[in-house]
Structures are given as structure tokens and as C-alpha cells.
Chains A and B, each alone.
Chain A
Amino acid sequence: MKDERPILEIRNLRRTFGEQQVLKGVNLKVPRGQITVIIGGSGCGKSVLLKHIIGLLKPDEGSILLDGKDLVTMEPEPLKEARMRFGMLFQDAALFDSMNVYENIAFPVREHRKMKEGDLANLVKEKLLQVGLPNTEIKYPSELSGGMRKRVGLARAIVLNPEIILYDEPTTGLDPIMSHAIDDLIVATQKALNGTTIIISHDIRATVRIANKVAMLHHGAIVAEGTPEEMMRHANPVVREFLESGITKVPTSAR
């Protein structure tokens, strides 16, 4: 039977940096086994929200419930357990630049699983093939383009088959064909793991194409949420404008 309870629930999350109030009471339910996309203008706090979800930042107020358990107040040991359920792709990939591509992708496996070197090599090879970068094992991050780094980061994020994957702008900076391929990969990964996916994206086209649920962050709060179709017909003009600008922008520039 399908579990209808949300896997993640964010309640009244507030966070201030100095004078600047970035999150002003975010409420969001993330449905289990689906793709949720969070959209919003640049600098509105999307990355900050994602970092709260995975516990890199602590909120001033509010709670983040993972299967009903609050991550904010969790002890280090259970928090570590909880983190094992997550995979995350950082906006700038955050690869370890002292390690080559192989070691980067193998890193989480070496840390948390016992695996023979041969099996590990096959696993890394398979993940690299999935992200469209075969035979780059011995390259160092400094030798890769931004888009390639992102794909290696993606391979690293999914190598342990996490239950919940967070993507911070997975396709920004990639060409349209590669963006398309990455979107397909995200969908395929989500299906294969039957996992939950949370994406932060500027890419409205992709959002509409792959999202089960869209939420819009604006002025520090979720102002609208729903299916992509609902969002397109949303009563709030800000939401409609944001979505439409993304849809129409691509054909205009392609002309």
C-alpha cells in the first residue's frame, strides 16, 4: 500500500542572517516517492532552505520532521543515521579537489560500505556512464568544466542509492541537451530507487516536465504550491508570471 504521509514536513521555519530575514516561516510538506520542485527568484533563500533540510544550518525557529522526527533537535548519532538517507548535489558540486573523479565518487561508498575494490570500480564506472561521463575516472575536478563537475557531483550523490535526494540547481549552466539528459536521469533515478526527490530549479521548463509537485518560495515563505498545472493557473499573478517567463524565455532566445 502506498504511504500517504509526507516524508518530510517543514513547519514554520525561520532563519535570520544578521539583519537579513531570509526564511520567514516556511511551511511545506514533501510527498513520499515523488518529485517536488522548489522554485523562486535568485537570492530568495532556496539554497538556505535546502541546507536547513539536510541540517547544515540550524533554524532560529521551527522544525523539520523526517518521518515525524524533528531533525532540528536531533542528537548527533541519530542525525548521522538520518543523513544516511539523504543524498545531495550542491549548487557548485562541492567535489573534493584533492581527489580525482574516481575517488570522489567512491568516497561515500568507502566511508559507509564494505566493498571489494573491483566491485567499487564497476559501480563507479556504472554511475559515470549514467551521468554521461565515461572514462573520466582519473581526471581531477580542476580539469573539468562546470557542467562536468555537476555531473560528477550527481554521480557521487546517488552512488549509495539514497532514499531522498536533494538537488540544488542540477541543470544550471548546462547546455539544453545535457539539461534534458540530466532531467531524465533524475526521473530515472527517482523511479529506480522509488525515492523522494527535492529539486531547486530555475529551469521552469524542466520543472513543468518532471515535477509532481511545485512549491514557490517568495519573500521567505512558500506562497504557492500544487501540481504544475495548478501552478500555471494559480490565482497569484506573481506565480503565473514566474512560471510563464520561464516557459516563454526559451523559444524567444532560440529564435
Chain B
Amino acid sequence: MVTYSLVEFGGFVTTLVGGLRALFQKPFRANLILKEMESIGVNSTIIIMLTGSFTGAVLALQSGKAFRLFNAEGLTGAVVALSLLRELGPVMTALMVAARCGSAMAAHIGTMRVTQQIDALEVMAVNPISYLISPRIIAGFVMVPLLSIVFNILGILGAYLISIHLLEINEATFFDKIQAYVKTEDLWNGFMKAACFGVIISVVGCRKGFLTEGGAEGVGKATTDAVVIASVTILVSDYFLTALMF
């Protein structure tokens, strides 16, 4: 089990390094990068907005009620904002994108593998790594942080609505406390986490797709594996990133 994970991990590192190296080969595929960014954005924005606002709302509801026990409900906004920016924003966004886009990457590339479309690329002297993998790594790196911002904004908005209208917290206190406790460092660290998660999602999805074998069944397996492995890796690496950063 341990050796298996290590071999698997090594494979992902190889894919990452290969993907980044291929980025410096000509031609630079800007339009493919944009296309992948668009695909992640289109696939995920609505779902991120929805999950973001409800996550913020439920956090406000829970922490607001708890804080009320010792008359500190003014802190609700700050606590929600900190949890979102540091943890929940990047992690939840990444998990959603893994489910929506990591799986799609594995399915798309896996289908191309089993129907020999990747062979066709090679035969036409096109490097499949620079064509299929590099643009997705960049797109994940850029888009997951952006989506995590959307998640955070909607989350704080959700928390705001619950705090002001349901918990009847003073609006000025809500924002004052956020300003007092949230530092730019929190923003940046969350941002960096999200970028790492984006790379993880793309690398795992692409590698699983790329190594698909065994027809339609193989594509199905690659897709599930991509989501499971990406999600686990995100949660595990979140611990280590947090330990490093904060």
C-alpha cells in the first residue's frame, strides 16, 4: 500500500514536471490554455457560487449561535471570514472543481487514449503532453484560486445575510471585526493553497486519463480514480500546506 502510493506519487510528479517542461516547447498554446480556463470556469462557477453562499450561511448560523452563549456574536463575521479565507474557500472550491473538472479531464483524455486519438497526435508529430496536459495544469493553477475568491465572496455574503437578518448582529460590528482580524496574509495563503490544489486536480486528472487502458470501462475507472485521488491528495496536502504557512 505504502510503496504503491509512493510509486503513484512519483508518477504524478513526473507528469507535473513533464507538463511544465513541455510548456517551454514551441508552439506556446495560449488558445488552448484559455479554452481550458473557460471550461473550468463554465463548469464550476455556478456550483461554486451556490456552495459558497450556503457554506458561509451555515458557518454564520453555527458560530453565531455558539458565540451568543457568551455574548460575543459580534465576532461571527470575523470567524466566518477567517475560516473561509484560510481553509474552506480553497478546500471546498478544489473539491468541487475536482468533481466537475478533474473527472472531465480524465474522461476526455482517457477517451482520446482508448480511441487512439493520442496516438494520432504523436503520429502527426504533435507532443500530446504539451497539447493536452500543460494547458490544463496552467488552467487549474489560475482558475482554482479565482474560483476560491468567488467562493469566499459569496460565503461572506451568505454569512452577512444570516448575521444581519437572522441573528440580528450589528452591521458595523460585523465588518469592523472582519477588518480587525483578517490580514492580507490570510488572503494570500488561501490563494496559494488554491493554486496548489488546482495543479493537483489537473495533474491527477490528466495522468489518470493519459494512462487509461481497456476501453469504455477503463475510462470510467480513470474518471473515478481521478476524483478520489485528487480529493484525498487535496485534503492531505492541505494539512501540510497549513502547517507550513500558518
Contact = CB atoms under 8 A, between A and B. Distances in A.
Interface of A: 51, 54-56, 80, 83-84, 86, 88, 90, 92, 94-98, 107-108, 111-112
13 contacts: A54-B123, A56-B119, A56-B123, A83-B124, A83-B125, A94-B115, A94-B119, A95-B117, A97-B117, A107-B124, A108-B124, A111-B124, A112-B125
Contacts of A108: 124
Nearest to B121: A96
B216 interface: no
Interface in B113-145: 115-117, 119-120, 122-126
Name B's interface SS: helix
A94 B125 contact: no
Interface in B85-129: 108, 111-112, 115-117, 119-120, 122-126
A56 B117 contact: no
A84 B125 contact: yes
Nearest to B111: A97
Nearest to B131: A111
Contact of B117 (A55, A86, A96): A96
Nearest to B27: A111
A96 B123 contact: no
Nearest to B124: A108
A80 B121 CA distance: 11
A84 B122 CA distance: 10
Given A80-B125, A94-B115, 8 more contacts: A51-B119, A56-B123, A83-B122, A83-B124, A83-B125, A90-B116, A95-B117, A98-B108
Contacts of B115: 92, 94, 97
Nearest to A91: B116
A56 B118 CA distance: 10
The 4 A-B pairs of least Cβ separation, nearest first, read A94-B116, A94-B120, A83-B125, A88-B123
A22 B74 CA distance: 74
Contact of A90 (B108, B119, B126): B119
A98 B112 CA distance: 10
Contacts of B124: 83, 107-108, 111-112
A90 B108 CA distance: 20
Contacts of B122: 55-56, 83
A152 B120 CA distance: 13
A92 B126 CA distance: 19
B57 to A, nearest CB: 38
Contacts of A96: 112, 117, 120
Which residue, B108, B112, B117, has most C-beta atoms of chain A within 10 A? B117
Contacts of A98: 108
Contacts of B119: 51, 56, 90, 94
A111 B117 contact: no
A90 B120 CA distance: 8
B209 to A, nearest CB: 13
A86 B124 CA distance: 8
B117 A94 contact: yes
A82 B123 CA distance: 10
Nearest to B120: A94
Contact of A86 (B108, B111, B123): B123
B126 A111 contact: yes
Contacts of A51: 119
Interface string B134-159: 00000000000000000000000000
Contacts of A54: 123
